[in-house]
Amino acid sequence: MQYSGSSLLRSIIDSKPRLLIVVSAIIIIMLSIPVILPHINHPSMIYHIILHIASLIVAIFLTSISFLAYNRTGSTRIFFMTLGFLSLVIVELMYLFNATEDIRDIALPLVHIELPHIILLAMLTLFGIGILKVSK
């Protein structure tokens, strides 16, 4: 089966399994050389990194699905859910680069609260707003 550029994109977007495969392939290809390869000989570290990469793939996939749903419906509930998943992507990126020791823990100076915890709280708040928002 031969696709033109836009019909290939449409076939990927319309099929969740295909979209998951494409997202997974893109993330693995983008992160394999700078993130995975330097730590390939450290078994305990590589498992931790793979865990965060898998979490990142799921977060990006869910963000993509919710963004497509928002484009279809225009619902503010789905918009808040999309923002919640997007904040999960940001947190997973921070945790991944922290696991590879590319960045240190980022904490707010006066209260000594790590930034990922604040973003996770924002994510839960966005999910709560998305679920509790009354549709008119």
- The predicted-structure confidence for 29-61, as pLDDT tens digits, reads as follows 998 888 887 778 877 888 888 899 999 999 999
The residue with greater pLDDT, 14 or 119, is: 119
Q: CA–CA separation, 105 vs 7, rounded Å?
A: 43
CA dihedral 32, 34, 35, 37 (to 10 degrees): 60
How high does pLDDT run on average in the chain? 89
Q: What is the pTM of this model?
A: 0.86
- The predicted-structure confidence for 83-131, as pLDDT tens digits, reads as follows 999 999 999 999 998 888 777 888 888 888 999 999 999 999 999 999 9
For residue 98, the model assigns a pLDDT of 87
Query: pLDDT band for position 5 (50/70/90)?
Result: low
Element (H, E) at 8: helix 5-14
With CA atoms as reference, report the closest residue to 119 among 80, 90, 81, 93. 90
Calculate the CA 31 to chain-centre distance.
14
The residue with greater pLDDT, 9 or 17, is: 17
Q: So where are the chain's domains?
A: 5-132
- The predicted-structure confidence for 60-77, as pLDDT tens digits, reads as follows 999 999 999 999 999 999
Does position 1 have pLDDT exceeding 70, yes or no? no
For residue 107, the model assigns a pLDDT of 83
